[in-house]
Structure 1
Amino acid sequence: MMLDTGFLKRIAPYIEPLTKEELAEYIAEGEESVRIREAEGVSPAEYLQLVENIGLYLGKTTGAGFDSHYQKIPLRNDKTLLVIQLPGGGNMNVFLTSEGKMILDTGYGCYFNDCERMLRSVGAGDFSDVKFVVCTHGDADHCGAAGHFPVLPVMHPVTKALLEDGSRGYASPNGREILEKFYTTTINTYSRMNVPATVRFCKTEPIGKRGLFSVIDTFAFADMRFEVWASLGGHIAGQVFLYEPDEGLLFTSDALLNFATLTKERADYSSIADSMIGSVNVNSETARIERRELMRIAKELDSELKLTGRRLLICCGHGAVSILDENGMLSPYSEPLYYAAGSS
């Protein structure tokens, strides 16, 4: 048995929420995942250390160890976009408006209280006035705290089906279903995913096009109106992108990342999923097509906005909010500020 008693004892605090039946299934899937990755050159010891490292990292970056880099971006009509780079996982985007807050991607469930303490520390109140929550896709670092907010989150119907299925590989057969399932159970459980049983669905029928992407819905909040674009499913099924033309904001979810702006610790943590599964994208070729198309569209939108004296702000799933530099590469829009729980 590769998931031996010593290993199971070390990860016991992280898998506590699993029922006896779920634990038995988790162990069986873990055993098979170890065998699959060993045949691909990852030793059992290395693989199991990756699994344990998820729990160790989340544990040390929650509570007193929580820190983040963040950008406060002024918008029209006294609104502010607060983009928080969480210590593990993707960004939480918080719109501060006179009509309350909008959250675009929630971060892990285990970071919810830390994020609320951070908001208070930086003078942004708390989450009690959140009026609208959008989850761009079903990975735990983008929807895992959705159940903590006072409103039902909005997501693509496929995202909800994926969450109910329990595998980020749902609807995307790629021959790595066991690896996808074991990783999903690991990250969802360790990060204390909390998604409500009832959610709100975005529409799915195309109403327009943005390049290769279908525009499937629009969301309105405060004086903003977001276009919802359906991804091609390269990273994960059900992923959506959002564009707000008046503010010039493009939210690319995990199809575009500014990896260069991550700290080494966050970059190392982000690499665990790739090492466990083989690729964090369920279809790598489709993901490459998405990245190229998003960059192409971004250049077009940026050129249009420049005519009005503005720039397109590319809000990546991970890393700093960016603009395109003279070489067409992602460059931080502003210098991120730093927050640490211990110094607040």
Structure 2
Amino acid sequence: MNRSTDLIVNTNLAMQILDETGVSPYRTFDSISHFAELLATSRGRNFSPRITHHNITENTVITLIEPPCGSNTAIIKSGDKYLFIDTGYACYKEEMLSVFRNIIPELDSIKKKCFITHADVDHCGLLPIFDTVYASAKTAECLRLESNNEDGFREMNPLHKPYVRICKVLTSYTAVSAEKLSVVGDKKEISQLIEQTGFIDFGELHFELFEGKGGHLAGESVLIDYDHHIAFTGDIFVNMKEMTAQQAQYNRYAPILMTSVDTDKELCTAERTALFQRLGIGKWQIFGGHGGMKSYTIAPTEI
């Protein structure tokens, strides 16, 4: 099936599915139209991500890139090493590469490494440009399915499948080669809301790796550095209060077209509460999957 046919088929399917839930087909079509327009009008000269820099130590800094549409990308620089967290949409490849090269002049000559918090299309678009992609076992499983032209976890959900297929067409998504995947953490069934599965050391940072129970998406990962009070949460936590106007506009459409951005909304809410309960006393810098960095302080009396 070519891309145009795929887009038409899944647009019709989305309208049919949402019509059965009481959403007008006209509203669905209008949402898809506005979503496509937002993606297109944010390219080229109109691509204006918010970029902020967060000093962790004298030798470690986190640069947060927040594009108008799609997930954040964080770049951790520790000493002379770089680690990316998530990558955004594939349709912004050239724009993001330009941003990356401004931050990392030697980008084209280094081995590029990325940690992916979960296997959603808006987080994985640029994975093919990386040499190594670190992921939880379940996230790696999902990405391997996609590399074999099979349905990923989102597409296994009938309510989410049309939107994901539409996103893949509109953003020119290409699955990452399975050979680039490197599993981190233990492979196990998650029985708690969020559960520790391993550790990741990078430069001066020492992360504990946690996996959620799948409220947002199976395989969802969280990185917490208790020494430096930083956390990368993926979409278990999204900073809705600190979004740019463009981000807020973009984030209106997925909940309409998917009925919910979460696999299980109530479970994801419980995971988010459990995540914040995992943090210790002190001032934290929390980097969500969308929106600006959240400063969060836990006083001794709150423990």
TM-score (norm. length: structure 1): 0.77
Q: What does residue 7 of structure 1 align with?
A: none
Q: Secondary structure at the match of 1:37?
A: helix
**Paired position in structure 1 for 2:184:** 202
| CA apart distance, 1:52 | 2.5
Measured against aligned partners, the alpha-carbon deviations of 1:181-229 in whole angstroms (never above 9, x if no partner) come to 11111112212223322222223346x99x8422112222223222110
Q: Determine helix, strand or coil for the equivalent of 1:179.
A: coil
Counterpart for residue 154 of structure 2: 169
Whole-Å separation in 1 of the counterparts to 2:89 and 2:170: 10
Q: 2:292 aligns with which of 316, 320, 332?
A: 320
Three-state SS of the structure 2 residue aligned to 1:56 is helix
Q: Distance in 1 between matches of 2:185 and 2:32?
A: 36
1:157 corresponds in structure 2 to 137
Shift in Å, 1:159: 2.0
**Is the CA contact 1:112–1:148 (under 8 Å) kept in the aligned structure 2?**
no
Distance of 1:148 and 1:54 partners within structure 2: 25
Q: Normalized against structure 2, the TM-score is what?
A: 0.86
Give aligned pairs, total. 290
The CA distance in 2 between the partners of 1:229 and 1:48, in whole Å, is 38
**Distance in 2 (alpha carbons) for counterparts of 1:203 and 1:287:** 21
Superposition deviation, residue 40 in structure 1: 2.5
Q: For the residues of structure 2 that align with 1:23 and 1:160, how far apart are their CA atoms?
A: 29
Indicate conservation of the 8 Å contact 2:10/2:163, yes or no: no
Measured in 2, the distance between the counterparts of 1:238 and 1:170 equals: 15
Q: What does residue 85 of structure 1 align with?
A: 66
Alignment of structure 1 residues 189-338 onto 2, 5 Å: 189-198=169-178, 199-205=181-187, 212-298=193-279, 301=280, 303=281, 306=282, 311-324=283-296
CA contact (8 A) 2:68 2:247 kept: yes
Query: Where does 1:23-172 land on structure 2 (aligned, <5 Å)?
Result: 24=5, 27-121=8-102, 123-125=103-105, 127-128=107-108, 129-149=110-130, 151-163=131-143, 164=146, 165-169=150-154
Residues 155 and 164 in structure 2, CA contact (< 8 A), matched pair in contact too: no
- Identity over the aligned pairs, expressed in percent? 22
Return 5+ residue gaps in structure 1 as ranges.
1-18, 172-176, 328-344
Worse-matched range after superposition: 26-35 or 269-278: 26-35
Shift of 1:26: 5.3
- Cα contact 1:250–1:313 (8 A) shared by 2: yes
Q: Secondary structure at the match of 2:254?
A: helix
1:294 CA drift (Å):
1.4
Q: CA deviation at 1:54?
A: 2.5
Kindly report the root-mean-square deviation, in angstroms, between the aligned alpha carbons of the 2 structures.
2.5
Task: Give per-residue Cα distances to partners, 1:102-142, cap 9 Å, x unaligned.
Answer: 10111111223212322444x54253335421101011221
Give distance in 2, aligned partners of 1:26 and 1:63. 23
CA–CA distance in structure 2, aligned partners of residues 236 and 54 of structure 1: 22
Distance in 2 (alpha carbons) for counterparts of 1:57 and 1:126: 32
Q: CA deviation at 1:237?
A: 1.1
Aligned partners of 1:252 and 1:316 also within 8 Å: yes
Residues 135-193 of structure 1, C-alpha deviations (whole Å, 9 max, x = no match)? 010112211111112x121112322333424344367xxxxx33311111111221222
Structure index of larger Rg? 1
Partner of 1:335: none
- Any idea what the Cα deviations from partners look like across 1:248-271, whole Å, max 9, x if unmatched? 211111011111111232112112
Question: Match for 1:157: what amino acid?
Answer: A
